[in-house]
Structure 1
């Protein structure tokens, strides 16, 4: 689709202005309508004029306008929401929820109008609506995002239509969605700022030394005075003969009977109007059960007659139950029950039980004493109510510690000591929300399981199946970084050094891959070619742009690519220092006007970005690297997000020359990197390529076909983080227009893959099953071992997409047998994968098997009738099989779906020709 090209405006300002205009217009109409004369006139008109039902197109337009109005109001409502006071923010959130549900209802109503795919009037009205969605001049780019869900529904519904007009609707909807994805990416930062619910607070941390902080507080308060002011919690002393160890859980539950490496997550003092829901979201991501000990006063009130009246937070508690967690009793007022009489303790427990029962919870006979303060009398009173006291063994101190990282470290250290336990959190603290993912990340990575309490004993939860977080994140399309930045340098025309032939082409190829494949915004990519790549300009780009903390943030990534000459200088100490050579550097004294590796190290350490990767298509030595990258763990992405990464890959070592004669006008190194980034370096198939995987693919591959040994390592200051490339899902359908590598390039690609496979097979096994260790050079000339990741356990649809993507690469390299296997595998994982069915059919067509090809093209059409390319391929297959009548029918449908395709004129001429044997179309 080519209509969604409205000039981009500032999102908040544009939509705010548009909404003001919309509301102002409505207000003016309302003011006029409220005059007595207007009312009388309107009444007379209604009485005298017949009421005509609006046309279907008008109804769709009105409902679409209603959807857009809700969308715009959401934007204005949520803009700068974080700057509001807490009470205002809660009110805004409540209204936002109402608007969200209102918009969903309006989308449902609009979709209902368009649901009749067999009705010509419905199709025509929908066609008119799509015109407006695509090209209404008064709308902004981001306005059209209001219709994303609607377009998804239309694309799915009309893919099964029985008419060409209906199939065209599905085709248009899919094309619109592709353009909306570009709009969404363009406004990624603004949308996250407006709708992001977990954004960092806008406070600049000035972290003092903790000892200094405590010293200052100690000058104001003393522990003794605090104890006097608030009283000491009465400790509980078990009676003589009380059981211990595993038997202790029989009376009070301490978790001593938990299996090894098992924990119970508990949350006290809620429910909270916001934080409880935040915690529910986090627990859902980790598939972790929990027990929420609620305070009665937060749930509602209990009358003198013992009847419970639920309050506003009761809805939160119901969401806890709906999510599959337990809710239990934490008293009514959070009093020190050990200081209360028997009747008061009974009232504290029974009032909260009445409220919990009113919530609809099942039998959960658990009770937690506030502060853990109980005595024999209080414990006996609670037990008489058939309640079982559950304590804790790990106190997060989230009620006292203001630093989320410190909370997480405390919990993990305590769990590590005991290897099991009941963890105490509170769902009334924002810092708990921040600390919890850190805790769960590490527990999952360390192999811990989560348990809950059921029928008088602990029940260990079985994690859901479906692959690691890397695959799920890549499959869902979640962005791994806030933003991406790059500096791309390519120099062919040196002033004093010998000229090169492919450096600029290499740099431009990498630039194109970053922008078109990996989502780098063009405005965030600085390119310096030939005469612009002076030492001053390179350093200015590095220091002024990439180390600017206002431009490059903590959650960003930065890539620096250099293609040109490199040099090495040996110091008197015997240590080598490497340099990249700018366009204006001299030959005899390049050490003074080139850029040294230590300078690049300093720049890397000055960057705020989380992950930085230097990729240098030049040969030299002397950097002083630390260790290589880490293995992808089962929880790799979450763990990687917490670690800084500063890494470098180079084309070769000192005294080596870059092989400048690779396919496509690239050097061998850059061409291999591009092959790797096409998906081949995704060694475990999880949809993301780490810099370690990139090195494990590139290093043995380049060494196998050129006299150079690429080097890899982490710069000083790196904390083990990995630069990550997230692979996009391939949507290309194979056809006669699909470009393939030439025969020489295909042979080279096969040779590279064989070299990579041989290197991996020869490598010793790593710690992880199915992972191996590959030996590569570091930039000081030594060797380092890097571990490849173990194969990913993927959900079926993700596995199907990965197999299809692999098949596309193999087809383009003319490796048809392997491509057939890959597409067949994709269809085994997902039998309804229309794209893979088309692609498999085209492999058969390419190998001269038209009947088999036609069968798969028909299957693709059966799965998705809007796939125009499948009709074209089907016509070509029938033509090759001498089934001219069937070919004509398939071509006619294709022409109807894609009237502007380059082959349409040729196909129409053949369809109209009385002699089908003459002028047969050429596929």
Structure 2
């Protein structure tokens, strides 16, 4: 581990002050740094394997041995805070290994490692913000944060290592600076092509290609692919062959678990490419060894994907003439890069993002080099993509012959899962209309379906993890089996969340002690055998405490009491602490003997309709794009009480440690158009009443607990937000208002979004469509024109522009706009409509 630390330090010395280095010096430093890095990766792999073997050993002394290792990481002599970041990914792997052991010493060790990882995250934030102050001791943590400045750390490293010495150790001696020579005329190499290689400098302006080297990684490759999918961004994964499998003496591929990752990448639409077999420096290889590095990985890629791409990237960018000839013989093309993230060297995600964005600004286009084997790359990527999208950059993919920007469609909502920290999201959704022995209901199944759709479509719950029970499937045994069998067999993890929704009958039974006990009523329950056929809330409590998930939220569209909940409260700075505390919360539709109010809009009960409106964004009371269980209750309970005879109740179940279930609102990306649905008149009427209750939120909201007592919920504090975040929220609020036909308010919100972010094409289009809906066609056309200037690839804005010109009577401009739309989206859902309009004109 000390050798690992030494290599980590050398990489920092090599790459710091990169802006002051010449291009040749940067190339040398990066080349040697990458060698150091890959040598270190092999060390990490060996240490990881040794630790896994130690943890699995029956030797009782293993815990003392691991404790000694943690002592070194936590308080080793001479270690700076920044040094400890060298061990972060190793510590995460060790945490996963220890979690497999359920003995008491292992549980204690797991807690210690978790606290160390929290401290490492704090160290990372420290260097992001350049905090000078020395913090006090954290008694709950084993690592005591010293809070040195990064400059002090680098200055210390320079007393240990010198860049020139490191380069010399790896065979490089920087020459004296040459005298400047007259600049040669532009050549194909300068334009981005050198002897058949691709550098990215000939891409169209504001176009980038995203590439990821050195994988596949069993965790980070999938996480990176998920982030890319949220931005509709294509990418190329240059994979190392030995991470996929091996090739036997007969030339036959034998795949390993990495091949499964590759198949998932391919199924998600990403391009698979060759990065050699062992990541050796191929410029020093010749003969059969050189060919094997290229061809063995090609064989493995073909076994994964017979249509694998023809792209190859030399490790470290180091190649020789023989290597280029070998590529040509194999019909492969060398792909280099002109924008290096240096994510293999830089331990701080925000620094990686800043470097990439500064280089992109300078280059204006190109191929970006990342690595899909680092957690820091996963953390940096959303910030990079967010800024590139905001600045109007397009992402090009490989179509088999060249890099091209696909016809853009509306991007998927961006989920910022890193903020809430959940691994997987689960749901059990129950709706019962057709009771066997209880009065029939009319809205419960529709309520369950609406909630299930919201979880999947808006909040990204995987459909296979949303367990839905309707009518005859919602028996007592079926409901309990969903908890005890399906969740257990689905590998529920401690970092997961569970949302439970029940729509059906509820009942309350008076016990001999005088206490009320609530029940949920399955489809097969007999009213005369409530105690045996229904599910008591005490059993729900036991289930909630037994679930290994981090947070659980139960929402019951039924009325009963008898839970004895503890008081719920919000914490203005809860996000960081929230990950450490279990949360078990419940929100119910009403109290004892209250009837659920059916007859809400779209076939929903009033309670569930209000719940859906809250999850749609109205329950984000402090504007941070997060809806906690407490915020949801603070919105739903007073709103439902104001329009019905119900008094919803909310609280934390016994066993909760104060954690909050969190929904993270995706950024709305819908370009308003003639196909955008708006609410029905009865829905708008009910929402108007609900909004009247929420129009002047108080500092605290009073709701009932399930014993009928008042509970005060403190409204969360308003959080500071960047201008881009404020613009996005204004746009999202505008969309909600548009769907409620509140055009003046929607116009104000879209205008606010454009004040905050002048190049916001989405808000420009949406503002134009608000004018269009009010028959202000000239004003609408101007904003649609602004939208296409900001984002020329946005097909739907051209269709809107055609509609506005057509309504204003300008047939020539309308035809031109429709024509452009058809060129951008010939197979789009509005293609038939556009052709029909052109024929009419």
- Relative to the length of structure 1, the TM-score reads 0.51
1:85 aligns to what SS in structure 2? Answer: helix
The aligned counterpart of 1:295 is none
The aligned counterpart of 1:281 is 124
The aligned counterpart of 2:525 is 585
Give runs of aligned pairs for residues 306-325 of structure 1, distance below 5 A.
Answer: 323-325=150-152
Give runs of aligned pairs for residues 27-426 of structure 1, distance below 5 A.
Answer: 83-85=48-50, 198-199=92-93, 200-204=95-99, 208=104, 281-285=124-128, 287-289=130-132, 323-326=150-153, 355=160
Answer whether contact 1:806 1:822 (CA < 8 A) is retained.
Answer: yes
The aligned counterpart of 2:740 is 813
The aligned counterpart of 1:757 is 695
- How far apart are the structure 2 equivalents of 1:501 and 1:800? 41
Answer whether contact 1:619 1:652 (CA < 8 A) is retained.
Answer: yes
The aligned counterpart of 1:779 is 706
2:528 aligns to what SS in structure 1? Answer: coil
* Displacement after TM superposition at 1:326 (Å): 4.1
- How far apart are the structure 2 equivalents of 1:806 and 1:509? 21
The aligned counterpart of 1:798 is 725
1:474–1:732 CA distance, 2 compared to 1 (3 A): closer
1:79–1:755 CA distance, 2 compared to 1 (3 A): farther
2:586 aligns to what SS in structure 1? Answer: strand
CA distances 1:158-215 after superposition (whole Å, capped 9, x unpaired)? xxxxxxxxxxxxxxxxxxxxxxxxxxxxxxxxxxxx99983424014566599x99xx
Give runs of aligned pairs for residues 371-770 of structure 1, distance below 5 A.
Answer: 476-478=416-418, 480-546=421-487, 551-633=491-573, 636-758=574-696, 760=697, 763=698
- How far apart are the structure 2 equivalents of 1:498 and 1:847? 47
The aligned counterpart of 2:175 is none
- How far apart are the structure 2 equivalents of 1:658 and 1:278? 46
1:841 aligns with 2:768: yes
* Displacement after TM superposition at 1:905 (Å): 3.9
Please report the RMSD computed on the Cα atoms of aligned residues, expressed in angstroms.
3.8
- How far apart are the structure 2 equivalents of 1:359 and 1:722? 52
* Displacement after TM superposition at 1:525 (Å): 1.7
* Displacement after TM superposition at 1:543 (Å): 2.0
Answer whether contact 2:520 2:534 (CA < 8 A) is retained.
Answer: yes
Answer whether contact 1:547 1:608 (CA < 8 A) is retained.
Answer: no
- How far apart are the structure 1 equivalents of 2:445 and 2:727? 37
1:853 aligns with 2:783: no
* Displacement after TM superposition at 1:520 (Å): 1.4
Answer whether contact 1:291 1:327 (CA < 8 A) is retained.
Answer: no
- How far apart are the structure 2 equivalents of 1:587 and 1:87? 55
- How far apart are the structure 2 equivalents of 1:589 and 1:717? 29
The aligned counterpart of 1:454 is none
- How far apart are the structure 1 equivalents of 2:744 and 2:681? 16
The aligned counterpart of 2:811 is 884
- How far apart are the structure 2 equivalents of 1:81 and 1:546? 35
The aligned counterpart of 2:295 is none
Out of 766, 790, 795, the residue aligned to residue 863 of structure 1 is 790
CA distances 1:503-537 after superposition (whole Å, capped 9, x unpaired)? 11111111111112112112212111111111111
1:900 aligns with 2:831: no
Answer whether contact 1:875 1:888 (CA < 8 A) is retained.
Answer: yes
User: Runs of 5+ in structure 1 lacking a partner?
Assistant: 1-72, 90-193, 214-266, 268-273, 293-319, 330-351, 361-432, 434-470, 764-771, 913-918
* Displacement after TM superposition at 1:544 (Å): 2.4
- How far apart are the structure 2 equivalents of 1:276 and 1:698? 37
Answer whether contact 2:799 2:834 (CA < 8 A) is retained.
Answer: no
User: Runs of 5+ in structure 2 lacking a partner?
Assistant: 1-37, 55-87, 110-115, 136-147, 166-346, 348-385, 388-412
CA distances 1:611-641 after superposition (whole Å, capped 9, x unpaired)? 01111000111101011132332xx211111
1:570–1:832 CA distance, 2 compared to 1 (3 A): same
Answer whether contact 2:667 2:728 (CA < 8 A) is retained.
Answer: yes
- How far apart are the structure 2 equivalents of 1:653 and 1:572? 20
- How far apart are the structure 2 equivalents of 1:889 and 1:602? 65
* Displacement after TM superposition at 1:901 (Å): 3.8
The aligned counterpart of 2:310 is none
- How far apart are the structure 2 equivalents of 1:359 and 1:717? 59
Answer whether contact 2:443 2:604 (CA < 8 A) is retained.
Answer: yes
- How far apart are the structure 2 equivalents of 1:660 and 1:86? 58
* Displacement after TM superposition at 1:646 (Å): 0.5
1:788 aligns with 2:715: yes
1:679–1:276 CA distance, 2 compared to 1 (3 A): closer
Answer whether contact 2:52 2:97 (CA < 8 A) is retained.
Answer: no
1:589 aligns to what SS in structure 2? Answer: helix
- How far apart are the structure 2 equivalents of 1:618 and 1:813? 28
* Displacement after TM superposition at 1:897 (Å): 1.4
CA distances 1:755-798 after superposition (whole Å, capped 9, x unpaired)? 1224x2xx3xxxxxxxx100001111111000111212111111
* Displacement after TM superposition at 1:328 (Å): 6.7
1:559 aligns to what SS in structure 2? Answer: strand
1:285–1:602 CA distance, 2 compared to 1 (3 A): farther
- How far apart are the structure 2 equivalents of 1:78 and 1:743? 66
2:92 aligns to what SS in structure 1? Answer: coil
1:910–1:475 CA distance, 2 compared to 1 (3 A): closer
CA distances 1:72-114 after superposition (whole Å, capped 9, x unpaired)? x99x99999885237999xxxxxxxxxxxxxxxxxxxxxxxxx
Answer whether contact 1:474 1:688 (CA < 8 A) is retained.
Answer: no
The aligned counterpart of 2:754 is 827
1:712 aligns to what SS in structure 2? Answer: strand
- How far apart are the structure 2 equivalents of 1:275 and 1:614? 29
1:683–1:278 CA distance, 2 compared to 1 (3 A): closer
Answer whether contact 1:629 1:721 (CA < 8 A) is retained.
Answer: no
- How far apart are the structure 2 equivalents of 1:276 and 1:681? 32
- How far apart are the structure 1 equivalents of 2:52 and 2:514? 66
- Relative to the length of structure 2, the TM-score reads 0.55
- How far apart are the structure 1 equivalents of 2:816 and 2:441? 54
